Every structure is written in structure tokens, then in C-alpha cells.
Structure 1
Amino acid sequence: MQNVIDIHWWQLVLFSLTLIIPYYINQHYQLGLLKETLISLTRMTLQLILIGIYLELLFELNSVWINLAWMFAMVLVGGSAIINKVQFPKRIVLLPIILSLVAGLIPLMAILIFGIIQPDPFYHARYMIPLAGMLLGNSISSNIICLQSYYSALQERWPEYQAALALGASPSDATKPFVQDALNKALSPILATMATTGLVTIPGMMTGQILGGASPIVAIKYQLMIMLAIFVMMSMTITVSLWLVAKRSISVEGKPQVSLA
């Protein structure tokens, strides 16, 4: 296998000229996304450059405590991103969401690091940080979908919830249909992705490894591993976060304390 082919910065600058296409679409249809697009592109570029520099240092230091601290920071940022997107009060949902991310991340990372990949040393930053990033990154979107779906359904079908309480159901039983609907909606995208992976799409991790010179068979094994881990992580985190958030957001009287309005 050949070594990684480097990309020059001037080539990236030239390639960025393709942004004329989405710019034209935005202007033609008057989408009003120009400012948001510029901010997002600028943030993405700066963040990727900074994280690239930081990861170079992280790989060189390769300290277990620095790696764990970075993972904890990723969990905090991921939890904050979920809360900011769904606009829930932090006092109610921050701790449940953080706990759900940790509950999903720690056991899966332990299995991947100690049971499957077995890097030397076990806390090798080249494996620990990217794996944690992929698991957390995919869990953010699923948690947002799950929580938004849950509270939207609860508000729209509030009389149904009250009727269940009036018939003697507990708040957890009364909210069960909304929980089921939210979990279904949150898991549907990853199920569709898994069903088409390999046939319609070649995933990013597999593509990156192949471009990096790895054998396609090795890349496939890593991709299967990470897809399974992502699915399990998403299933765990959305279930735990929804369970904890639902308990904290329903008052003693059975009324929701969080509104999406």
C-alpha cells in the first residue's frame, strides 16, 4: 500500500472556489443563509486547524490524564451542544444528558480499547480520541432528535397524557407512547445508514483508512466495529437521557416543566 498523499494548502484554497455553487443557490432562492454559512465555514476551518495542531501535540505527549481530560471536555461540549440545539433549561437537562453520554461512552470505549484494538499503551491518543469523537459526535444528533420529538409529541398530545393519568396510569406509563415514538425517530437515521452502508455509501472511516494506505479488508473490519459501536452508543445514550430528562422535567403534579414554545 502507498503512503498517504498529502494535500497542499493552495489546493484546498482552489477547491474552496466550489463554494460558489451553494452561494448561487442561496442567492437565487433567497434562503438567507449567507451569514450563517460564512460563520459555520469560518468556525469549521479554524476549529479543524486548531484541533489538528492540538492532536499533533496530544499524540506526541500521549498522556493518559490528558487524554481522559480531553474526553471529558468532549462530553461537556457535546452535552452543551444538545441543550443549546433543543433549547431546554440547563438546570433540568444538563446532568442527565452528561450522565447518559458517559454511561454510553465509558463501557464501549473499555470494550474497544481493552478487548478489540488493544493498543500499546492502552491509552494511546491515536485510537482513544478519534474513537471517542466518533461515538460522541453521532450521539449528539440522535439525542437532539429524540428529545425534540419527545417534547413535541408531549405538547401536541397533552390531552392524551392527561387522560392516561386520569385512568390511573403513572407519569412514566402515561409518557410511554411518546418515549416509543421519540426512540423510533432517533434510531431511524442510523438504521437507514446501516442498511445502505457498503452498497450506496462508503463510510468516512473506511474511506479515510483506504486513502491512508490501509488494506480495504482491514478498513472494512474497522468500519464494522465503529458502526456497531455507534449504534449501541446511540441506543444507550438516547434511552438513558430520555429516561432521566423525562423524570426531571415532569413535576409532582404530572405537568411538564420544559416547554419548546
Structure 2
Amino acid sequence: MGVQEISFYTPFYLLVFMIPLVIINYKMRININKRFIYAVFRMTIQLVLVGFFLQYIFLFNNPWVNSAYILFMISAAALSTVKTCGLTLRSQLIPILLGFGIPNMIMILFINQFVIGLNNIFDAQYYIPLMGMLLGNSLSGNIIGINTFYNGLKKNEREYHYRLALSANQWEATLPWYKEAVIACLNPTIATTETIGLVSLPGMMTGQILGGSMPMTAIVYQIVIMAAILISRYFGIHLSILLTRKKAFDSYDRLKI
């Protein structure tokens, strides 16, 4: 049995709940209405455009076109991270791009080849949605981790300089905040992994069940993607910090960012 079709217009029924939300915010002077409305509007436009675009990509299913779209996704994630974390676009975009691209590309190709066993590891049906899940989680993880690392250094600059004065090298002096960044990056994913199935039925599993897959098949896929998210997020934050820090300090080990 396939998934129940939903009309393009039925999501607008949710306005029944959104309108009171806006009114309550206005009455209580909770200043998030503009952001809320903009976010919903932007999400709708983006998803509609992506939906039309992906229909043609899935029909064409060319490995080069699929990979070009993946590169676009990675670039968008890297650009968003640079802007959100307040990094310098010119010097830090490439390091962040590599921090996203390398672990996630290795992970998605490994899954498609050895876990799922696809004949075409660039098949759009698997390649693009799975990569989207990995990148979405890497994006939030990288932002949390990078902000934790550099903000921790800025707030504790005296302690950092004191460590340098005691003959520690840059790596040794920054190690406490490096560890904090890795932990901060992984904590949400670890918490989700620990409670998955008890607190929530995750998106991939729910989507497969709605699409007609047997629950056990959906569970196996969900185990794969959660393990892949945890692994790629872990290596992604390590790589992102290691690459960005090369240009984040001057020749005297002073933080420039």
C-alpha cells in the first residue's frame, strides 16, 4: 500500500493554528512574528522549488548531475556555517567546505556501496535524500562546535595566553576548548540516538512506513542513517576546527577571529 496522497492546498489548513499563534505573540509582545512568518514562507517556497527540481533530477538520474547537486548542497551548508559563526568568508569558506564534504562524501558512498549494495552508488533516490540527512545534521553540529570552540577561546583569552606563556604550543593551549566543542557538537545527536524509538519515531523511519515499507525494513535503514550521522558529525567537527584554525591565528598564536 502506497502513501496517502495529500492535496497541495491542504497544508494551508494549519493556518487554523498559526493565526492564533501570531495573535498571542502580538498581544504578549513576543517579538518573533516576523521571523516566524518569514521562516514558514521561505520554507514553503524553497521546498516547492526543490520538489519541482528534484522531480527532473530523479527522472534524469545522471551521476554527474546528481553529484553537482550534492556539491551545491555542501556549498550551501558551508556558506551558512561561515555566516552563522561569523567567520571570514574569504579565508574560511574552503576549510568549512572540506570539513563538510570529506566525511559526508566518504560516508554516503560507503553506505550506498557496502551497506545498501546499490549497483549505481550515485542513484538519485538514495544519494540525494541520504546526503541531505547527513548534511542537515552536520550543519547544526558544525555551527554548535565551531561557535563553542572560538567563543570559548575569546571568553577565556587570558587563560589561553597564560597557557602559551607556560611554554604550551597552540594545540596544547587550545585543547580544553577543543574538547568542549566536540562534546557540544555531539551531545544532541547522542541524546537523540539514546532515546530514538522511545521518545520519537524519526523522520526516515516514519517516511518509509508511510511509503509502505515494512517496519523492520524501516528500522534497519534508520539504524544505518543514525550511525552514519553520528560518525560523520564526529569527524566533521574535528576536520572543520582543524582546518579553520590554520588561518584563525596569526604567527604569534593570537586569535584573529
TM interval, short-chain normalised: over 0.9
Q: Which has the higher contact order (CA 8 A, sep 6+)?
A: 1
Q: Secondary structure at the match of 1:88?
A: coil
**Identity among equivalent pairs (%):** 33
Q: Secondary structure at the match of 2:9?
A: helix
Contact 2:103–2:236, Cα closer than 8 Å, also in 1: yes
Given the two structures, how large is their TM-score scaled by the length of structure 2? 0.97
Shift of 1:254: 1.2
User: For residues 142-199 of structure 1, what are the alpha-carbon distances to aligned partners after superposition, in whole Å with 9 as ceiling and x for unaligned?
Assistant: 1000111111110111111111111100011100111011111111111111111001
Matched, 1:142 2:148: no
Shift of 1:32: 1.5
Match of 1:87 in 2: 86
Shift of 1:15: 2.4
Match of 1:220 in 2: 219
Q: Distance in 1 between matches of 2:202 and 2:24?
A: 27
Trace 1:218-257 onto structure 2 (pairs within 5 A). 218-257=217-256
Identify which range, 102-111 or 192-201, moves more after superposition: 102-111
Structure 1: stretches of 5+ with no match in the other structure: none
Q: Distance in 1 between matches of 2:195 and 2:27?
A: 33
User: For residues 119-144 of structure 1, what are the alpha-carbon distances to aligned partners after superposition, in whole Å with 9 as ceiling and x for unaligned?
Assistant: 34332101000011110111000100
Match of 1:30 in 2: 29
Q: Secondary structure at the match of 1:247?
A: coil
Match of 1:115 in 2: 114
Q: Distance in 1 between matches of 2:193 and 2:40?
A: 28
Shift of 1:214: 0.6
Trace 1:1-261 onto structure 2 (pairs within 5 A). 2-258=1-257
User: For residues 74-121 of structure 1, what are the alpha-carbon distances to aligned partners after superposition, in whole Å with 9 as ceiling and x for unaligned?
Assistant: 010000011111121112321111011111112111211110112343
User: For residues 20-41 of structure 1, what are the alpha-carbon distances to aligned partners after superposition, in whole Å with 9 as ceiling and x for unaligned?
Assistant: 2431342233221112122111
Q: Secondary structure at the match of 1:175?
A: helix
Q: Secondary structure at the match of 1:31?
A: coil
**Residues 178 and 115 (structure 1), Cα distance of their counterparts in 2 relative to 1, 3 Å cut:** same
**Residues 21 and 228 (structure 1), Cα distance of their counterparts in 2 relative to 1, 3 Å cut:** farther
Structure 2: stretches of 5+ with no match in the other structure: none
**Letter of the structure 1 residue corresponding to residue 167 of structure 2:** G
CA RMSD of superposed structures (Å): 1.2
Q: Distance in 2 between matches of 1:139 and 1:82?
A: 10
Q: Distance in 1 between matches of 2:62 and 2:251?
A: 47
After the TM superposition, which parts of structure 1 deviate over 2 Å for at least 4 consecutive aligned residues?
118-122
Q: Distance in 1 between matches of 2:15 and 2:224?
A: 33
**Letter of the structure 1 residue corresponding to residue 35 of structure 2:** E
Q: Distance in 1 between matches of 2:222 and 2:23?
A: 36
**Letter of the structure 2 residue corresponding to residue 225 of structure 1:** V
Given the two structures, how large is their TM-score scaled by the length of structure 1? 0.95
Q: Distance in 2 between matches of 1:162 and 1:7?
A: 59
Shift of 1:58: 0.6
Q: Distance in 1 between matches of 2:52 and 2:119?
A: 23
Q: Distance in 2 between matches of 1:66 and 1:53?
A: 15
Q: Distance in 2 between matches of 1:193 and 1:30?
A: 33
Question: How many residues align structurally?
Answer: 257
**Residues 199 and 104 (structure 1), Cα distance of their counterparts in 2 relative to 1, 3 Å cut:** same
Q: Distance in 2 between matches of 1:22 and 1:195?
A: 32
**Letter of the structure 1 residue corresponding to residue 130 of structure 2:** L
